Structure 1
């Protein structure tokens, strides 16, 4: 009986998927940070509290002198020409998986990867960012508007992968006035 129990435990361990494969969301393969650099427009998100009253939201990515990714997030508060609210940060790519990054803002440096690229167009025209917790969710596009087919495909894939898409709301972009992006932000 003892040997049978040991055999069952060994077989279960061999067949078991790692924790990450069972519960944590998968990230994209072959993520190239150099193709990811530049301006992204948030076209939809779960509207986390730190983006309260934001519209015209953008994220600009550059490579810093130290090799890490410079992050400059910006939005307008309350109106298309409302006051600009921005924050500067830095992202460090995971050595094991470059599509998982640890982003810190203004001295807040988290001890874990909190920026996971979970969906990405082959030509980098859109990207979806979340975390190990599948929340928040940000749908980004290289243009202020995203093609309806792309958005529908993203939402379907997210739902199939157990993301809650019910709380994803569009971000107002048409008619916005954006701060310039010069790569140095």
Structure 2
């Protein structure tokens, strides 16, 4: 049976609305001043995340960003189900830069182009000066991630990113640490 886009709309609306809000402040949080996409592109390891349905049971999560000729950003998210040796799951999407944001706000979409209203906010909320770690999330508090260029993050950097999240009104208690392989 094939569903038309009109029939899918109610299901997408319900799926998008079930994620809890971990940021009660309704004013949008500030992002970093600017992001150099050439430096931001590449592989990032997920260190921590808010629980969400699309990453349930995921370990060894990575996100890889690439620059496309049309000005968009390719997004390849990879995880291993259940354990680091589990089944590999890959999701590919595209992000577009929100105009006037100095590359700090993106709209990411993993659904086919014909699916309306299926993009999510991806805001860069904190970024180490050397682009080694970042705090990213949605302004509504439904999604939050701590990312690193390496599978593990120094405890002081992790603490600083969690503190930045708190300062921006995000709850940090719901953050789940992501199992990553040990660095060699």
- In the superposition, the TM-score normalised over structure 2's length comes to 0.79
SS at 1:50 equivalent: helix
Equivalent of residue 58 in structure 2, options 49, 54, 58: 54
| Corresponding residue to 2:105 among 84, 100, 123 | 100
The count of aligned residue pairs is 156
Partner of 1:71: 75
Partner of 2:161, secondary structure, is helix
Instruction: Give the structure 2 partner of residue 155 of structure 1.
Output: 162
Q: Does the 8 A contact of 2:47 with 2:153 survive in 1?
A: yes
**C-alpha distance in structure 2 between counterparts of 1:109 and 1:60, whole Å:** 24
Evaluate the alpha carbon distance shift between residue 161 and residue 120 of structure 1 in structure 2; reply closer, same or farther with a 3 A threshold: same
Q: Which one of the candidate residues 45, 70, 87 is aligned to 2:91? A: 87
Question: Take 1:71 and 1:33, find their aligned partners in 2: how far apart are those partners?
Answer: 13
Say whether the 8 Å CA contact 2:109–2:118 is kept in structure 1. Answer: no
> Are 1:28 and 2:32 counterparts?
yes
Q: In 2, distance between residues paired with 1:106 and 1:70? A: 13
Structure 2 residue runs without a partner (length 5+): 1-25
1: CA distance, partners of 2:49 / 2:92: 20
Structure 1 position 125 matched with structure 2 position 129: no
> Max radius of gyration: which structure?
1
Tell me if the contact between 1:38 and 1:61 (Cα under 8 Å) persists in the aligned partners. Answer: yes
Deviation at 1:109, TM superposition (A): 5.6
The equivalent position to 2:180 in structure 1, one of 163, 173, 183, is 173
Runs of 4+ that moved beyond 2 A: 108-113
- Unpaired segments of 5 or more residues in structure 1? 1-21, 177-185
- CA deviations on 1:108-159 (whole Å, 9 max, x unpaired) are 5647761001111011000111112022110000000000000011111211
Greater displacement, 35-44 / 125-134: 125-134
Partners of 2:164 and 2:98 in 1: CA distance: 24
Aligned partners of 1:140, 1:131: CA distance in 2, in Å? 14
User: CA contact under 8 A between 1:100 and 1:113: conserved in structure 2?
Assistant: no
